[in-house]
Amino acid sequence: MKKRKEIRKKTAAALGLAVMLAAAGMSGCSGKNESSSEQAKTESREEAGDSAAAYEEADSAGGAEQTETVSLPEYVPVDPDSVPESAEEDFIFESYDTYVTITGYQGAGGQVRIPKNLGGAEAIAISKDAFIDNETITYLYIPETVSKIDANSFRRCKALEEVYIGADFLTSIDNSTFHSCESLRRVEIAGQVNVIEGGLDAGAFQECTSLTEVVFPDAFQGRIATDAFRGCTALETLDLSNTQASSIGQCAFADCSSLKTVKIPASLGGLESNAFLNCPSLTEFEIAEGNGVLEEDGGIVYTIDGSGSYSSNTAMLGLAGALEADVEIREGTEWIASNAFEYIQTIETVKIPDSVKEIDRLAFAGCLELKSVSFGNGLETIGQSAFNGCSSLEEAALPDSLQELGSSAFAFCGLKRVSLPDNVKYYKGETTEDYMFCGNTNAVFTYQGKEYTYEQAAELDAFLAQ
């Protein structure tokens, strides 16, 4: 119990780290990489200093409690066939030749079923913001004749508990459609929807903090996009096993603190490594037989064939709820993907085999309990902020094979000793104090048989900055 409390305390300190990474334009779901402009890097230097102070303050104070898993009373679904069509006068709409566009709602709320042939139309569109901030609708039935739902249509409908989407010609659920519907418990998609849209802070169901069940149709063949279900803290199971889903995008289910089980279909070939970022309860990752792209082994999901931008033999993501203190990357792995183990607070030691050539950006960032890393002798690149904020990491013995250290690779760790190989170079001429080992004021660096303190960084940088 004491150990768990300590982990929760240190996990909370990652809030400061998140601020720091955001200041540097490197949050786990930003999609940015080391090709960012030099101007942005220059602007981030002063900001990173302020953010580091915030991080240290959060660490010393214990910070806020880590987001708890959410337990809600059992919800009894509504029978869609039991809900009568609402009166046409409840809706504000504009009529055209064969379709109408709903622009607002003026009914009494409760259970709402949009009339199939509203205004005599054959097709219905729901315009942007049409139902936004509604406080009376508790149940929503979207009929098969709805062919378009614009962004933000039902955003912040605070009383909405269940949605049934039966639209036969609706192919996607747009950005922020149900964003921040805080009472939404259940969504059933029975039509032909193939895409759950999203974007940075614009997920279709983002921050639906009471959502416990999502039913996808067997015909679902498309993608779940960036931030689509981010922050759905009550969701425990994602079941795509009977669908033909093709991909899951960046941070699609990030910050889903109660998520325990994910079931992936054989069809899924594209998975972003940060799709399940900061899901501390994630324990089971079931991959359907016939999926030739992904494989789970010892709490880590690997690629056995290319997945999107990732090659085969990549360690894609760690299951935070399944990993123990000691993590060993399996032999044959060549790449550890970006964000693969970010924020996982159970990890204390990592063993990396000689087969690994690159550790990508933010791979272990914010692993506050990480104390020891055994680097393989084939490692060539450690990417941007790969170990940023690993405050328990006191030593880094970097292998002779290492050629490049990415920006802020070991910034704000607890380093005391660093062994640098002869051939390593800092990313684009960056420096020890400002970037690579920023904040490690107690570190002593060994390079070509000579020791350098943090205060002697300029002398060290003369050798290592390109």
Question: Residue 18, by phi and psi: left (phi above 0), alpha (psi -120 to 50) or beta?
Answer: alpha
Same domain, 226 and 82: yes
Give tens-digit pLDDT for 267-324: 999 999 999 999 999 999 999 999 999 999 999 999 998 766 788 999 999 999 999 9
Contacts 24+ apart (CB under 8 A), 452-461: 457/431, 457/432, 457/433, 458/431, 460/432, 461/426, 461/431, 461/432
Q: Which domain holds residue 205?
A: 71-232
Let me know whether 94 and 14 are in one domain. Answer: no
* pLDDT for residue 343 is more than 60: yes
Residue 84's domain is classified under what CATH number?
3.80.10.10
Q: Do the domain assignments include residue 147?
A: yes
Confidence of residue 61 (pLDDT cuts 50, 70, 90): very low
Cα(263)–Cα(193) distance, integer angstroms = 19
pLDDT band at 191 (very low <50, low <70, confident <90, very high): confident
Helix (H, G, I), strand (E, B) or coil at 17: helix
* 83 & 203 share domain: yes
Say if residue 111 is in the same domain as residue 130: yes
Q: Residue 68: its pLDDT value, please?
A: 66
Beta strand segments in 162-206, E = 162-165, 172-173, 186-189, 195-196
pLDDT tens digits, residue range 195-222? Answer: 999 999 999 999 999 999 999 999 899 9
Q: In whole numbers, what is the pLDDT of the chain averaged over residues?
A: 88
Looking at residues 18-23, what average pLDDT do you find? 42
pLDDT of residue 393: 98
The overall pTM is greater than 0.95: no
Residue 219, pLDDT score: 87
pLDDT digits (tens, 9 = 90+) for 22-54: 434 455 675 433 333 333 333 333 333 333 433
The pLDDT of residue 63:
34
Same structural domain for residues 56 and 162? no
237, β-bridge pairs: 261
Whether pLDDT at 6 is above 80: no
Domains in the chain: how many in total? 2
Q: Quick check: is 44 in a domain?
A: yes
> Which of 205, 232, 259 is the last residue before a domain boundary?
232
Looking at the predicted structure, is the pLDDT value of residue 245 above 60?
A: yes
> Residue 416 domain-assigned?
no
Q: What confidence tier does 228 reach under pLDDT thresholds 50, 70, 90?
A: very high
Residue-by-residue DSSP string for 130-180? TTTT-SSEEEEEE-TTEEEE-TTTTTT-TT--EEEE--SS--EE-TTTTTT
Residue 12 lies in a domain: yes
Residues 224 and 75 in one domain: yes
Task: Output the pLDDT for position 387.
Answer: 98
Say which DSSP state 433 is in: I
At 362, which helix (H) or strand (E)?
Answer: none
